[in-house]
Amino acid sequence: MDYKEYLSLLPGPVSVPRRVMNAMLKPIIGHRSREFKELYTRLQEGLKYLFKTRNFIAILSASGTAAVEFAIANTISNGDKVLLIDTGFFSGTRASKTIEAYGGIPIHLKAPLGYAPTYDDVMKALDNHRDLKAILVVYSETSTGVLVKDLKDICIEANNRGLITIVDAVSAAGGVELMVDDWCIDLCASASQKCLAAPPGISFVSISEKIVEEVYRCKPRSLYLSLREYLEYSSSSEVPFTPSIPLFYALSEALDMLVEEGLENRIARHRIISKAFYNGLEVLGFKPLPRLEYRSPTIVAVEPPENISVDKVVSMLRDRYGILVARGMGELRDRIIRIGCMGMISSMEVFYTLQSIENTLIEFGCKIEPGSSVLEASKTLAGSLCI
Amino acid sequence: MDYKEYLSLLPGPVSVPRRVMNAMLKPIIGHRSREFKELYTRLQEGLKYLFKTRNFIAILSASGTAAVEFAIANTISNGDKVLLIDTGFFSGTRASKTIEAYGGIPIHLKAPLGYAPTYDDVMKALDNHRDLKAILVVYSETSTGVLVKDLKDICIEANNRGLITIVDAVSAAGGVELMVDDWCIDLCASASQKCLAAPPGISFVSISEKIVEEVYRCKPRSLYLSLREYLEYSSSSEVPFTPSIPLFYALSEALDMLVEEGLENRIARHRIISKAFYNGLEVLGFKPLPRLEYRSPTIVAVEPPENISVDKVVSMLRDRYGILVARGMGELRDRIIRIGCMGMISSMEVFYTLQSIENTLIEFGCKIEPGSSVLEASKTLAGSLCI
């Protein structure tokens, strides 16, 4: 059971720096101790920096899905209508299932594949559905690499209209601009194993004052995901249930690294690195799934050249070059390849991956100009300060 | 933020062997990979061994509270009555809150402090409440150290009467006899950071065939805690949501250690070590909270001698001797001291802790026969093969 150390370019979990991994070895402490309170306080500060918020942040020992469910569980009740900006599996199927579990009614607003609904599309939907309780947006859709580029204006206007705004920023926070307070996001969820490059197992939700005030009015429908419990324990810098201590340490270290790099620098790095990936891959005949202005900088999603199967590329990258990338989900399973462009990603990973894909295509008999994708990536990266 | 390495005799999380901690450093792998499937399969085998069951086990990236909630979320609906064997905070307040979150009606069956309801008490309650849907028992109550000694007969008879049997074995599994299949336990929950001595953050629930068959009949009220999702993904040896990989590795290592020691040996070790603790502490004037036959071997709960405050003992053990023990919860906060007697606990911890308590009491002016508690513990341990 001693597995190979792959380069994980999965759409999460991504490779974790040694420094963050080692942080897990710090002593096991009690979660009602002064040491834990200090750790908790540091995490709150780091996450507020990540989200650009002054809001309270609930820190869950659970995956990103639980964080999104937390947002829904504490706001959506029987019969509440929620507008879903549906751009793939997480914003479609999964968000829908979760809303239904709490008795809510999801209303899907879809755009053609590779696009996201725009501000105007959403406003039209808001006009058509006057009885909405909330709007749920997956900012960066992990299953398609589509970014809801108008998130800011959508949330501000939805908030103006009195709606609760829920944003799933699981594969966005730390990789693309996100300003929870300025953009009027009531509940914003993310997780440890994406742009923060920490191990999976922790997720977090920022919660606006408006939601905090409302939560005592309705009956909790879960204990583990009850905002009330998190608020109550937070007053003494604690979490209500036994936290996964080693993962808290790792997240704290990962947040230190974020502060050291600077959030803006990290966002710029994700932008330029994903651009280098897309440009290099296009030279090799891969077709980007998301249209240019709808591309999330954190998930590169491409269709392989004709006659080259997704399966072949994914297996070859894994078995020969030790690189983990993912196939599509659901209907897109055999159609696209997804490359997680998150965390400590740099030009090193871009060049190594493109060279490996070039070699793979050559082996499969494709006519490739040797070095062409690497050259293209290099041109893209020329002059950039954050690679 | 480099904390002291305490000896954690908390009622969880307990100290974790270096070997288990180091297992967390294994490579981050994808949760849809063949490596993960292998890891998942090993965990299933290890946990089936722990629970003495052939049932499916849902493995959650979440705390023990979530595992108990999982059991409730998939079985209890609006108006369902659940008999609670109430012996403290977890079986009283917390179980009650969780049942109510799902619309259930908790009916508390209490015994005097230090006792648990017996088989006869429970049967009387079952006779009085003919419309129960389920019975929920916290086998070893972490807040009081009380063991429901008649668990076996209670569950078998409750099952005979058509009730769903839910057992919270969070601080019991691995430390006291527990036979999920033979005792007819439909849902049995436990967690990583107690008798298995793994880091906190993973919990698990074994689910009987009867429950699996029923689950498709009712609408899920959670996604993260939906048994359907866990069953569906289990068919390909996966979990539905991104798992906390490092903690999965650690749990696997901890289960290897359990198999190496042998479950029966570990249970015998917990029994003799807790007895040594109780006997040594009684010599020093501590009063056991649970009556003799109701003592859980995993949580030692005692009242300090007159004029010695809980606070003083807890602080002195932590600050001078580096030993973490816990105070009581709720009403018992200033009345009892709780010593977690779980995991890799041995005579070493007993002697060191008793000596430290002796010294503490002497410092506080108590008249103590030097060495008396250590001698008593030594007598208790004499001849034992598992210390």
Residue A8 has pLDDT above 90, yes or no: yes
Q: Do B26 and A2 touch (CB under 8 A)?
A: yes
Q: Do B223 and A1 touch (CB under 8 A)?
A: no
Closest-CA residue of chain B to A35: B3
* pLDDT per residue as tens digits for the range B72-105: 999 999 999 999 999 999 999 999 999 999 999 9
Q: Do B244 and A102 touch (CB under 8 A)?
A: no
d(CA B282, CA B17): 29
Q: Which amino acid is at B120?
A: D
Closest-CA residue of chain A to B3: A27
Q: Which amino acid is at B90?
A: F
What is the pLDDT, as a whole number, of residue B217? 82
What's the DSSP call for residue B331? G
Q: Do A242 and B12 touch (CB under 8 A)?
A: yes
Catalogue the E-assigned strands of chain B: 7-8, 56-60, 81-86, 105-110, 132-138, 140-141, 146-147, 164-168, 187-191, 203-207, 287-288, 299-303, 323-324, 326-327, 337-340
**Cβ contacts of B24 on chain A, cutoff 8 Å:** 21, 24-25, 199, 246
What is the pLDDT, as a whole number, of residue B349? 97
**Cβ contacts of A64 on chain B, cutoff 8 Å:** 241-242
Q: Is B246 on the interface with A (CB under 8 A)?
A: yes
Q: Do B324 and A97 touch (CB under 8 A)?
A: no
Query: Could you say which residues from 290 to 329 on chain A have a Cβ atom under 8 Å away from some Cβ of chain B?
Result: 324, 326
What is the pLDDT, as a whole number, of residue B218? 79
Q: Is A21 on the interface with B (CB under 8 A)?
A: yes
d(CA A105, CA A110): 16
**Cβ contacts of A201 on chain B, cutoff 8 Å:** 61, 201, 242-247
Q: What is the mean pLDDT of residues B160-176?
A: 98
3-state class (DSSP) for residue B196: coil
Residue B211 has pLDDT above 70, yes or no: yes
E strand or H helix at B18, and its extent?
Answer: helix B18-23
Q: Is B114 on the interface with A (CB under 8 A)?
A: no
Query: Could you say which residues from 203 to 232 on chain A have a Cβ atom under 8 Å away from some Cβ of chain B?
Result: 219-226
What is the pLDDT, as a whole number, of residue B299? 98
* pLDDT per residue as tens digits for the range A81-106: 999 999 999 999 999 999 999 999 99
User: Is residue A143 within 8 Å of residue A88, measured between CB atoms?
Assistant: yes
Q: Do A24 and B28 touch (CB under 8 A)?
A: no
C-alpha torsion sign, points A185, A267, A86, A123: positive
Extract the tokens encoding B344: 């890799």
Give the distance from CA B336 to its chain's centroid: 19
Q: Do A226 and B39 touch (CB under 8 A)?
A: no
Q: Which amino acid is at B211?
A: I
Q: What is the mean pLDDT of residues A144-172?
A: 98
Residue A2 has pLDDT above 90, yes or no: no
d(CA A207, CA B102): 23
Q: Is B266 on the interface with A (CB under 8 A)?
A: no
Which ranges of chain A would DSSP assign to H, the alpha helix? 18-23, 34-51, 64-73, 95-101, 119-128, 151-160, 209-215, 227-234, 245-261, 263-283, 310-321, 347-363, 372-381
Closest-CA residue of chain B to A245: B200
Of A5, A97, A102, the CB nearest to B27: A5
C-alpha torsion sign, points A132, A138, A143, A147: positive
Q: Do A3 and B35 touch (CB under 8 A)?
A: yes
Residue B2 has pLDDT above 80, yes or no: no
* pLDDT per residue as tens digits for the range B244-270: 999 999 999 999 999 999 999 999 999
Q: Do A1 and B252 touch (CB under 8 A)?
A: yes
Extract the tokens encoding B142: 């972490």
* pLDDT per residue as tens digits for the range A209-228: 999 999 888 789 999 999 99
Residue of B1, B2, B242 for testing the chain A interface, max A β-carbons within 10 Å: B242
Q: Do B244 and A201 touch (CB under 8 A)?
A: yes
Phi-psi domain of A224 (left: phi exceeds 0; alpha: psi -120 through 50; beta: other): alpha
CATH superfamily label, B262-381: Aspartate Aminotransferase, domain 1 (3.90.1150.10)
d(CA B151, CA A45): 46
Nearest partner of A111 among A87, A128, A94, judged by Cα: A87
Question: Chain B closest CA to A102's CA: distance in Å?
Answer: 6
Extract the tokens encoding A234: 């937070």
Of A12, A25, A222, the CB nearest to B101: A222
* pLDDT per residue as tens digits for the range B96-105: 999 999 999 9
User: Is residue A109 within 8 Å of residue A83, measured between CB atoms?
Assistant: yes
Residue of B20, B31, B61 for testing the chain A interface, max A β-carbons within 10 Å: B61
Q: Do B200 and A61 touch (CB under 8 A)?
A: yes
Extract the tokens encoding B337: 């001291």
Closest-CA residue of chain A to B219: A101
Extract the tokens encoding B297: 């071997």
d(CA B32, CA A324): 11
Nearest partner of A8 among B249, B27, B239, judged by Cα: B27
What is the pLDDT, as a whole number, of residue A218? 79
Extract the tokens encoding A245: 């201590």
Q: What is the mean pLDDT of residues B157-173?
A: 98
E strand or H helix at B125, and its extent?
Answer: helix B119-128
Q: What is the mean pLDDT of chain B?
A: 97
User: What dotted CATH number matches A18-260?
Assistant: 3.40.640.10
Residue of B42, B63, B219 for testing the chain A interface, max A β-carbons within 10 Å: B63
Q: Do A24 and B21 touch (CB under 8 A)?
A: yes
- Within this chain, domains B18-260 and B262-381 share the same CATH topology: no
Q: Do A28 and B199 touch (CB under 8 A)?
A: yes
At how many degrees (to 10) do helices B347-363 and B310-321 cross? Answer: 120
Q: Is A4 on the interface with B (CB under 8 A)?
A: yes
* pLDDT per residue as tens digits for the range B31-68: 999 999 999 999 999 999 999 999 999 999 999 999 99
In chain A, domain spans: 18-260, 262-381
Residue A385 has pLDDT above 90, yes or no: no
d(CA B349, CA B321): 12
Q: What is the mean pLDDT of chain A?
A: 97
Extract the tokens encoding B356: 């430290």
Q: Do A3 and B14 touch (CB under 8 A)?
A: no
Q: Is B242 on the interface with A (CB under 8 A)?
A: yes
* pLDDT per residue as tens digits for the range B334-345: 999 999 999 999
d(CA A124, CA A83): 12
Q: How confident is the model at residue A1 (pLDDT cuts 50, 70, 90)?
A: low
Of B26, B28, B241, the CB nearest to A63: B241
Q: How confident is the model at residue A75 (pLDDT cuts 50, 70, 90)?
A: very high
d(CA A130, CA A37): 44
What's the first-to-final CA gap in chain A, in angstroms?
Answer: 35
Q: What is the largest CA-CA distance in chain A?
A: 65
Identify the residue whose tokens are 């290897």. Answer: B256
What's the DSSP call for residue A93? I
Q: Is A106 on the interface with B (CB under 8 A)?
A: no
A82 bridge partner residues:
A106, A134
What is the pLDDT, as a whole number, of residue B4? 82
What's the first-to-final CA gap in chain B, in angstroms?
Answer: 35
Q: Is A69 on the interface with B (CB under 8 A)?
A: yes
What is the pLDDT, as a whole number, of residue B1? 61
Segment among A144-153, A189-198, A375-384, B209-218 with least mean pLDDT? B209-218
Q: What is the mean pLDDT of residues A339-348?
A: 97
User: Is residue B267 within 8 Å of residue B280, measured between CB atoms?
Assistant: no
Residue of A9, A32, A223 for testing the chain B interface, max B β-carbons within 10 Å: A223
Q: Which amino acid is at B284?
A: L
**Cβ contacts of B191 on chain A, cutoff 8 Å:** 242
**Cβ contacts of B96 on chain A, cutoff 8 Å:** none
* pLDDT per residue as tens digits for the range A258-285: 999 999 999 999 999 999 999 999 999 9
